[in-house]
A and B are shown apart, each in its own frame.
Chain A
Amino acid sequence: MLAIDVEKLQKSFRVQKNREGLGGALKDLLRREYTEVEAVKQISFQIPQGEICGYIGENGAGKSTTIKMLTGILVPTSGKVEVGGYVPFKEREKFVKNIGVVFGQRSQLWWDIGVIESFHLLRKVYRVPENDFRKRLDELVERLQLGELLNRPVRKLSLGQRMRCELVASLLHNPAILFLDEPTIGLDILVKTEIRDFLMGLNKEYGTTILLTTHDLQDIEALCSRVIMLDDGSIIYDGSLEKLKSNWSKGREIQFQFAHPVKKEQMDSWTEGLNVQWRPENDLTAKMWLPHSVNVSEALSRVVGAAEIRDIKIFETNTDEIVREIYQSEKVSS
């Protein structure tokens, strides 16, 4: 069954223009001018239940607008959208009981009082029975190690602690689908890992479908089996992360540290016939770049056979670079 089904979804906004200078301002006082902006252009995608999908794109690409349409906040201009069997913008109150939403930069917790008070309030809002609530809360608290934080006011929490609490707040009613908008923004690496592990576990155990937007591609690498990439309101890539990598990354780099100084000509002679390039960094270290077409073990064995080696490092092109590359080529082609 599909958790999210989107077809030819479109959203356009009317944006007000400000004319320049005093004269322009006086004219605006009398009559406004508007321009039409298409934030999301005819996008289509389907997400089956239990999938974790990454939704990425630069600022202003239309990510937030899509999420807002999927969570029932915005009404689409045209197209079809169905989430968990509901059309989000109709029957809003029934629909939202089925989803959880975390906006990374905005808190849904009371600022001045203990976190637990906010949880109690949310229990009432979502009408969760006391027993279910207790069980659920205990489990979440244990998993995210919130124990002693529960009675602290939100303003006294660190960003990482707060984000963990936000997650609990969005999951108290056991939603089938979870939307996360920049859930790891501004967090340190340790907390990020913790949150990723938690989400992974949640998905495995409860089959919760998760759609997350992020700027941190490590989130994607750690969590998502699938990536949807957005640029200027249109989907430019939709598929697995592996495919993305193999399609777009052109190769990898291996760094060698030699026991004795080596000349560039020597290196070239070792790998003759293979389509690789050497780039010496100093007398003792050099980097070899090899495309995917070249077998790594063959290239390695040739070098190892010819020279005494102290250390080897392999660099995979990282997702950041790939994404940057896609955007650039996309801009060029369009």
Chain B
Amino acid sequence: MIYLQLFWEYFKNYAKTRLTYRADFWIEVLSDLLFQGMNLIFILVVFQHTQSLGGWSQAEVVFVYGYFMIPYGIFTTFFNLWNFSERYIVKGEMDRVLTRPAHNLAQIVLENMDPPSLIGSLVGAVIMAISGAQLGLSFDFTDFLMMILLVLGSVLVYAGIYIAITAIGFYSDSPTGIAPLMYNIQNYGRYPVGIYNKVIRFVLTWIIPFAFVGVYPASFFLNMDSGHNSPLALLTPVVGLVFVTAALLFWNHGVKRYRGAGS
């Protein structure tokens, strides 16, 4: 409850900050969308030359892409910690955070939130709706509830993976390059995992489960006769919970270590 109030306070401050630099705001939103649009362009260009990608039609691949954007947008809204190591560890802002009476990760997340990323989610929903209509998908109330549940699960998967990676900053203050690594890998979760070989498929499902932020949950909504529905879709919230729990333990251990070693 107290964190909800804090969220609101931080949000107000965010909005006020943003209003002072209005021009940048739109440029950043636009370049963000373009960055993600690059992958859509890839899909569209590729389907100029072929009818199917591992048995999936263009509309199906685009549908998965649309789903992928929704949890991604929510996740980046609350998780904008790409420069965590430099800002909080090297420049020492972690010290300030630790002298405040609220959970450290909560403070850091709130300090860095980036609500415009939600626009990406919105665009994703629109893309999903359009390609869904092309596919003739029906969407009833249960689907709507499932959508919320699966998106939440996907957001937790993201949060788990990236919280764990950010926590590496507590163990090593030199750049690790692991966050960009993950950023690259997550992109492969939105293509049908069937196209990859066994090893990659296993990694994307169980080790770094990015298949759960795209293709698995999205397949739940596809037509039964497409044969693409994955039974793993329903596992999304479970995988999310498991990963986020493990990540939080790792994070807390990192904070403990930071307070043991300092800088």
Given a CB threshold of 8 Å, the question of whether A touches B is answered with yes
Q: Which residues of A contact B (CB under 8 A)?
A: 11, 13-14, 65, 68, 71-75, 77, 89, 92-94, 96-97, 99, 101, 103, 106, 108, 110-114, 117-118, 120-121, 124-127, 153
Residue among A94, A114, A127 with most chain B CB within 10 A = A127
Contact B20 A103 (CB under 8 A): no
Stretch from B37-45, B96-104, B154-162, B242-250 contacting the other chain: B96-104
A93 to B107, CA, bound (A): 12
Q: What are 22 A-B pairs with beta-carbon distances under 8 A?
A: A13-B261, A68-B262, A72-B98, A72-B99, A73-B95, A73-B98, A73-B99, A73-B262, A93-B102, A94-B101, A96-B101, A103-B96, A106-B93, A110-B13, A112-B16, A113-B13, A113-B20, A114-B16, A117-B12, A117-B13, A120-B9, A153-B20
List the A side residues contacting B10 at CB < 8 Å. Answer: 121
Across-interface contacts of B91 in A (CB, < 8 A):
106
Cα distance A99–B2 when bound, in Å? Answer: 20
A71 touches B99 (CB 8 A): yes
B259 is contacted by which of A89, A127, A153 (Cβ under 8 Å)? A89
**Chain B, interface SS category:** helix
* Residue B136 at the chain A interface, CB threshold 8 Å: no
Minimum distance in angstroms from B200 CB to a CB of chain A? 28
Residue of B nearest to A153 (CB): B20
- Min C-beta distance of B22 to chain A, whole Å: 12
**For residue A14, which residue of chain B has the nearest CB?**
B261
B 179-211 contacts with A by CB, 8 A: none
Residues in chain B near residue A103, CB distance under 8 A: 95-96
CB–CB B262/A106 < 8 A: no
Within 8 A of A (CB), among B1-16: 2, 5-6, 9-10, 12-13, 16
Residue of A nearest to B259 (CB): A75
Name the residue of chain B whose CB is nearest to the CB of A75: B259
Contact of A96 among B92, B94, B100 (CB under 8 A): B100
Check: B227 CB closer than 8 A to any chain A CB. no
**Known pairs A112-B17, A117-B13, A153-B20; A125 contacts B102 (CB<8 A):** yes
Minimum C-beta distance from A100 to chain B (A): 9
What would 11 more interface pairs be, CB under 8 Å, given A73-B259, A97-B101, A112-B20? A11-B262, A72-B99, A75-B256, A92-B98, A96-B99, A96-B100, A112-B16, A117-B13, A121-B9, A121-B10, A126-B100
When C-beta atoms are compared, the residue in chain A nearest to B261 turns out to be A13
A125 to B103, CA, bound (A): 10
* In the A-B complex, the 6 residue pairs with the closest CB atoms: A112-B17, A75-B259, A113-B16, A101-B99, A93-B101, A73-B98
| A204 smallest CB distance to B (angstroms) | 25
B260 at the interface (CB under 8 A from A): yes
A93 touches B103 (CB 8 A): yes
A71 CB contacts on chain B under 8 angstroms? 95, 98-99
Question: In the complex, A100→B260 CA distance in Å?
Answer: 22
Give the Cβ gap from B144 to chain A, nearest Cβ, in Å.
34
Tell me, in angstroms, the Cα distance from A96 to B102 when the chains sit together: 9
Residue of B with least CB distance to A13: B261
Docked CA distance A106–B2 (Å) = 27
Task: Tell me, rounded to whole Å, the shortest Cβ–Cβ distance linking A115 to chain B.
Answer: 12
Contact assessment for B20 and A75 in the assembled complex, using a CB-CB cutoff below 8 Å: no
Closest to A71 in B: B99
CB contacts (< 8 Å) of B261 on chain A: these are 13-14
Neighbouring A residues of B17 by C-beta, 8 Å: 110-113
* Complex-state Cα separation, A125 to B5, whole angstroms: 9
Contact residues in A for B92 (Cβ distance below 8 Å): 106
A112 to B15, CA, bound (A): 11
Give the nearest-CB partner of B263 in chain A.
Answer: A13
Q: Are A74 and B101 in contact (CB under 8 A)?
A: no
Which chain B residues border A118 with CB–CB below 8 Å? 13
In the assembled complex, which residues on chain A have CB atoms less than 8 Å from the CB atom of B16? 112-114, 117
- Bound Cα distance A94, B262 (Å): 21
Residues of B within 8 A of A117 (CB): 12-13, 16
Residue of B6, B21, B259 touching A125 (CB-CB under 8 A): B6
Least Cβ–Cβ distance between B66 and chain A, in angstroms:
34
Closest to B21 in A: A112
Q: Is B96's CB under 8 angstroms from A106's CB? A: yes
* Beta-carbon nearest neighbor of A123 in chain B: B9
- Name the distance in Å between B33's Cβ and chain A's nearest Cβ: 24
Nearest B residue to A39 via CB reads B262
Contact B2 A127 (CB under 8 A): yes
